[in-house]
A = this chain, B = another copy of it.
């Protein structure tokens, strides 16, 4: 398939991304700032063996000069670009490597073990691309694979569930929150658990909306049919009295205007993409990973299968500057 939107596509399967982008090879070691004087590439065990004092020195250096390595962001497909859009608005100096697993999209109807396997594979590619931290810009992968990623990866991982849950608990006035997402996200119960940990008295009603992603990918963002499908999905939540609705899929912010128009002011919409970007901002500051203030903040987009027309939809709706799209192979 060829792409029919603005960004161009290039296939590359052998050269490492760090080589392609001329990223500093001495900064591959996770959480190690690019200026660190080290000849080889650090491993997780080497990193762990460092003394706390040495780490503190490095962090102090990093805080002065910043960490120019990119933030690695992944999603099952193109939808996670809503998180990239939110990150670029909030953190314009940060470089971002985005990897969409379009060869195996969508994750939303797949089992936990399959989503975990795919997520680990995609995250390992972002590690090769020298990511300083990883953002799981996919609610399904956040719901099903975050603990495995946190356990296995040598760098910090931020999902979209916890930030969305925190924002929803802060927003609700009547203690009754609605959540919409893919079948897998809703079935996982991840939002219910995250909200209950913050406030066990809040009541959550969740609903899978499997038609919304294909509607968005078809580009029917303002269609009367989309409004009808939205009402079919949302009416039971409204009847149930929710005053806050979590858009629990990174595609859904593209329907925010339509959903807002249907629900009016009575319901607060919680955009998991925006809240995730806020969580990443806090993490970078906390971990001394903030980019130098003179960093240009490049965006590199890679996919595991050539993009279809939805990249054009996202490109237009999000007004992202997407350059050449790289292709990365998966198994």
Within 8 A of B (CB), among A213-244: 213-215, 217-218, 225, 228-229, 232
Provide the bound-state CA to CA distance between A298 and B109, in Å.
28
With a cutoff of 8 Å between Cβ atoms, the chain B residues found around residue A112 in the complex are: 1
Known interface pairs A104-B104, A111-B1, A114-B103; A225-B214 also in contact (CB < 8 Å): no
- Any chain B CB within 8 A of the CB of A105? yes
Most buried by B among A103, A109, A187: A109
Within 8 A of B (CB), among A100-127: 102-105, 109-112, 114
A303 smallest CB distance to B (angstroms): 10
Provide the bound-state CA to CA distance between A108 and B104, in Å.
11
Q: Residue A111 contacts which of B184, B213, B225, B306 (CB distance < 8 angstroms)?
A: B306
- Any chain B CB within 8 A of the CB of A308? yes
With a cutoff of 8 Å between Cβ atoms, the chain B residues found around residue A229 in the complex are: 225
With a cutoff of 8 Å between Cβ atoms, the chain B residues found around residue A110 in the complex are: 1, 102-103, 305
- Any chain B CB within 8 A of the CB of A92? no
With a cutoff of 8 Å between Cβ atoms, the chain B residues found around residue A7 in the complex are: none
* B114 x A305 contact (CB < 8 A): yes
Known interface pairs A225-B229, A228-B225; A111-B217 also in contact (CB < 8 Å): no
- Any chain B CB within 8 A of the CB of A211? yes
With a cutoff of 8 Å between Cβ atoms, the chain B residues found around residue A214 in the complex are: 210-211, 213-214
Provide the bound-state CA to CA distance between A82 and B112, in Å.
27
- Any chain B CB within 8 A of the CB of A152? no
- Any chain B CB within 8 A of the CB of A286? no
Q: Residue A187 contacts which of B1, B109, B217, B228 (CB distance < 8 angstroms)?
A: B1
With a cutoff of 8 Å between Cβ atoms, the chain B residues found around residue A114 in the complex are: 103, 305
Provide the bound-state CA to CA distance between A20 and B210, in Å.
35
With a cutoff of 8 Å between Cβ atoms, the chain B residues found around residue A48 in the complex are: none
- Least CB separation from A103: chain B residue: B114
- Any chain B CB within 8 A of the CB of A183? yes
- Any chain B CB within 8 A of the CB of A21? no
A258 smallest CB distance to B (angstroms): 15
- Any chain B CB within 8 A of the CB of A261? no
Provide the bound-state CA to CA distance between A183 and B217, in Å.
12
- Any chain B CB within 8 A of the CB of A331? yes
Provide the bound-state CA to CA distance between A115 and B291, in Å.
40
* A305 x B111 contact (CB < 8 A): yes
Provide the bound-state CA to CA distance between A228 and B308, in Å.
25
Interface flags for A69-106 (1: CB within 8 Å of B; 0: not) read 00000000000000000000000000000000011110
With a cutoff of 8 Å between Cβ atoms, the chain B residues found around residue A232 in the complex are: 225
With a cutoff of 8 Å between Cβ atoms, the chain B residues found around residue A184 in the complex are: 1
Residues of A within 8 A of B (CB): 1, 102-105, 109-112, 114, 183-184, 187, 210-211, 213-215, 217-218, 225, 228-229, 232, 305-306, 308-309, 331
